[in-house]
């Protein structure tokens, strides 16, 4: 089963990637590595899922869902860059930034929203190195931002 078939079975549709909000590009490929810029949990209608600080206005479960959506948006950019999500041979690294209350200490649980999705889709090749860090704020009031590095087939 292809990655896009798996996404479809999960009820996930890839929206067209959003244009970057500032002076950068969504992906950069060097050799077999594709560096994916930070993506917000933007919904197909352009709204941002679960705005606010995790541990204050946003629950851990809502943060988890937002991290999952941000990873979906990263996948949309990967597809736009390489044409086929099955060309991803390995998810190498994730950085999950969590807009969190200063006392919040469950960043790793929020980050699992992105990690769990990638392992569901890619199996062992979806297991990755990861950092999950707290931030004082993120663009557009988002509760999370996810960036990743993937290895792609030539």
Q: What is the pTM of this model?
A: 0.96
Is residue 93 included in any domain, yes or no? Answer: yes
DSSP for 83-106 reads S-GGGEEEEEEEEEEEEB-TT---
Give the Cα separation of 49 and 112 in Å (integer). 16
Which residue has 């941000």 as its token pair? 70
Is residue 80 included in any domain, yes or no? Answer: yes
Checking if the pLDDT of 154 tops 80, the result is no
In the chain, the percentage of residues whose pLDDT exceeds 70 is: 100
* Alpha helices per DSSP H over the chain: 3-9, 60-82, 107-122
pLDDT, tens digit, for every residue of 38-57? Answer: 999 999 998 999 999 999 99
Is residue 62 included in any domain, yes or no? Answer: yes
Is residue 42 included in any domain, yes or no? Answer: yes
**What is the extent of the structural domain holding 44?**
3-11+24-152
Query: pLDDT at position 21, please?
Result: 79
CA dihedral of 31, 118, 74, 154, whole degrees rounded to 10: 20
Please tell me whether residue 12 adopts helix, strand or coil conformation: coil
- Please count the structural domains in the chain: 1
CA proximity to 116, closest of 152, 44, 63, 56: 63
**61 bridge partner residues:** none
Q: What are phi and psi of 22, to 5 degrees?
A: -145, -160
pLDDT, tens digit, for every residue of 69-81? Answer: 999 999 999 999 9
Are 18 and 73 within 8 A, CB to CB? yes
Please tell me whether residue 29 adopts helix, strand or coil conformation: strand
What is the CATH classification number for the domain harbouring 99? 3.30.1330.40
What region, left, alpha or beta, does residue 107 occupy, with left being phi > 0 and alpha being psi -120 to 50 degrees?
alpha
């Amino acid at each position: 089963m292809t990655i896009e078939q798996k996404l479809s079975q999960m009820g996930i549709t890839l929206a067209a990637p959003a244009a970057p909000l500032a002076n950068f590009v969504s992906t950069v490929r060097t050799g077999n590595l594709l560096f994916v810029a930070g993506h917000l949990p933007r919904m197909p209608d352009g709204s941002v899922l679960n705005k606010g600080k995790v541990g204050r206005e946003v629950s851990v479960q809502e943060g988890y869902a937002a991290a999952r959506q941000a990873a979906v948006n990263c996948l949309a950019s990967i597809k736009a860059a390489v044409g086929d999500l099955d060309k991803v041979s390995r998810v190498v690294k994730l950085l999950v930034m969590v807009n969190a209350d200063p006392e919040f200490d469950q960043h790793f649980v929020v980050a699992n929203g992105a990690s769990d999705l990638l392992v569901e889709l890619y199996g062992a090749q979806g297991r990755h190195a990861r950092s999950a860090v707290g931030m004082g704020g993120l663009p557009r009031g988002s509760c999370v931002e996810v960036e990743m590095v993937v290895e792609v087939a030539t």
